[in-house]
A and B are shown apart, each in its own frame.
Chain A
């Protein structure tokens, strides 16, 4: 009977170890998925878009509004213009201004989002400060451009697009950067 008991304990130990390993595996899935997305190009927020056909559709005018937010980051961050009117296909460059209010260098990363959500895939950014991490020295102020084209395929019922950025601090966790650091900014 004691031989069975010893055998039971051995199996208990192995199975408990398997459970602990699987707990770690859950966390390993995080970098694993990020890698998959990077390879498959699923989450290509950090890459410049390509524009195939840049014919300007002067018959339509789209209002593009700009919004700026920070997430747990003591930076001042604002668009230099509240909104612009653009024609689909037209290349437009606007700028945001960011300043570091801390007395030490801070690295941040901006994440774009769009309203309405489905306008996102028709909004092509050729150059954006969100493609790379931004390091600001203590008290530094920086003007950063965004060059974009609204695709002419944009559904007719969308007349206003809001581009919103949220800056967050890169401390422990880092976002997966595009290979080569993204755009030439």
Chain B
């Protein structure tokens, strides 16, 4: 892409200093940094919960936690990782990168941007604080299925309010992104010239606006069932608990694409850079993203094959789900075709991206398997499902986030991340991830149910292996802290175009990116 970028002369900061700088900031780079730090802290918190779960499952029998607390752990692990870690991390990337990539000076609504971030810490405190109230945190599962969620203690109310606040934050963030992408692009930057990361986020933002309010409605109904005498989901009051699942998964299925589409965007930036070739099939990538988003509204009941659906319904949701594999396959093949006969080099971002393609595809295939209704009825609520969604969420979203972080750290800090440590981080993560989660496929097929603190003796070996892998994976993430801190403090100076094959407006501004960029819009030819 040819672009004329005016000199970036405004590398100074006005306004409060110290802590108040961060509280009052409206700068997209500051807010992006805060999002990323917040989500990493939540990632570590959710990781501690996960490791407690795995420690309990190291051996059969009850050793470390009681079953009630175990259920709180699995529930909170899900909520913290999804709403606290993965989603805010992608918003952080969007804040940092979208204005830089489309040549805008900031997000469209800078003050609202500040507010969307600062809603998150109170929500996180509410969520994690619920461990310390009488009755403990909610143990109804991250899906908060009625009627269990209607019966929980005060921890459930705190989780509901946390979800409300995080939902409002996501909706405001999404509105900001849509307006920025649609209205603030540099002259000459047509929609079909836009980097794919911006495209995937634009579509994700529409998904967020469409489904986060539905989740808010669902948990509000749980709240009124709990305290205000309604009976939306109480069968003994004329309600229907299965209806909760329908409403929840109307949100829940698009939600999984909310967590993976921006990851697709990041991978689509990294692969062309390190293959030194333009992205293969750019237009088909855009259409595939849109197709996935639209199809995501018609597949929710594949989470509910065992709730007693008519066979016609099961067939519809089964085929619709399998249909999503087509646009997803288009993407995977396009990435592979981009690498085909490229001048490949394997710096840390590329390692994460290639690792992503491999492991995410495994998760995609197990997704195709559980899409088949008769198989799903067998493996419903077993560790097979746990293995599947960790292959797409950890190896999908999280690997892409790390890839993106290594890719743009030079732009954020002005220094190249430590390549050796980055590679160690990747290989440890990759190996331990598979040690942790691959055995879960076998456990699930053998019938081990999820969300249970104890298990039959024949599952012992694979569980021990999974726990060893999980601790290895968890500890490997500490390497990233070292890399990030080293990178902020110093290291090899990064050029404006930090990676040889990188293309795009963000690489036309100096590294680190000045506090104010594109005050005068660049012209894209």
Contact = CB atoms under 8 A, between A and B. Distances in A.
B179 to A, nearest CB: 5
A12 B213 contact: no
B387 interface: no
Contacts of B308: 42
B260 interface: no
Given A18-B210, A72-B229, A12 B175 contact: yes
B243 A30 contact: yes
A11 to B, nearest CB: 5
B238 A4 contact: no
User: Which has the most chain B C-beta neighbours within 10 Å: A12, A21, A71, A175?
Assistant: A12
A11 B216 contact: no
Interface residues of B, number: 39
B133 interface: no
Interface in B365-405: none
Contacts of A168: 231, 236-238
Interface in A1-15: 4, 7-8, 11-12, 15
A34 B243 CA distance: 9
A71 B147 CA distance: 15
B109 A26 contact: no
A43 B209 contact: no
B183 A29 contact: no
A11 B238 contact: no
A29 B209 contact: no
A75 B423 CA distance: 70
A42 B314 CA distance: 13
Contacts of B264: none
A173 interface: yes
A26 B216 contact: yes
B502 interface: no
Nearest to A168: B237
User: Which has the most chain B C-beta neighbours within 10 Å: A22, A24, A43, A69?
Assistant: A22
Nearest to A22: B213
Given A16-B175, A168-B231, A22 B183 contact: no
User: Which has the most chain A C-beta neighbours within 10 Å: B183, B229, B236?
Assistant: B236
A175 B236 CA distance: 11
A44 B229 CA distance: 25
Given A8-B108, A12-B175, A26 B235 contact: no
Interface size class of A (residues with CB under 8 A): 35 or more
A8 B110 CA distance: 12
B214 interface: yes
A30 B310 CA distance: 19
Nearest to A15: B175
Given A8-B109, A11-B178, A26 B218 contact: yes
Given A12-B109, A12-B175, A29-B247, A166 B183 contact: no
B209 A22 contact: yes
A11 B213 contact: no
Contacts of A23: 213-214, 216-217
Contacts of A42: 308-310
Nearest to A109: B238
Given A12-B175, A12-B179, A20 B247 contact: no
Contacts of A7: 183
Nearest to B232: A30
Given A8-B183, A29-B247, A20 B235 contact: no
B209 A19 contact: yes
A26 B247 contact: yes
A143 B315 CA distance: 45
User: Which has the most chain A C-beta neighbours within 10 Å: B178, B182, B183, B238?
Assistant: B238
Contacts of B171: 19
A25 B214 contact: yes
Contacts of A25: 213-214, 217
A50 interface: no
Given A26-B214, A42-B310, A173 B238 contact: yes
Contacts of B175: 12, 15-16, 19
Nearest to A28: B217
A58 interface: no
A26 B246 contact: no
A26 B213 contact: yes
A160 to B, nearest CB: 22
Contacts of B237: 71-72, 168, 173
A27 B220 CA distance: 10
A4 B213 contact: no
B24 interface: no
A111 B236 CA distance: 7
A174 B310 CA distance: 25
A152 to B, nearest CB: 23
B86 interface: no
A167 B74 CA distance: 35
Contact of B243 (A33, A170, A172): A33
A113 interface: yes
Nearest to A29: B247
Given A23-B214, A25-B213, A113 B235 contact: yes
Contacts of B209: 15, 18-19, 22
Nearest to A4: B183
B487 interface: no
B313 to A, nearest CB: 8
B184 A11 contact: no
Nearest to A40: B310
Interface in B140-159: none
Contacts of A27: 217, 221
A33 B246 contact: yes
A156 B175 CA distance: 59
A109 to B, nearest CB: 6
B8 interface: no
Interface string A119-133: 000000000000000
A129 to B, nearest CB: 15
The 9 closest A-B pairs by CB, nearest first: A26-B217, A23-B213, A22-B213, A26-B214, A175-B238, A71-B236, A166-B236, A15-B175, A168-B237
11 contacts: A4-B183, A8-B184, A11-B179, A15-B174, A20-B213, A23-B217, A29-B247, A33-B246, A168-B237, A173-B230, A173-B239
Interface of B: 108-109, 171, 174-175, 178-179, 182-184, 209-218, 221, 229-232, 234-240, 243, 246-247, 250, 308-310
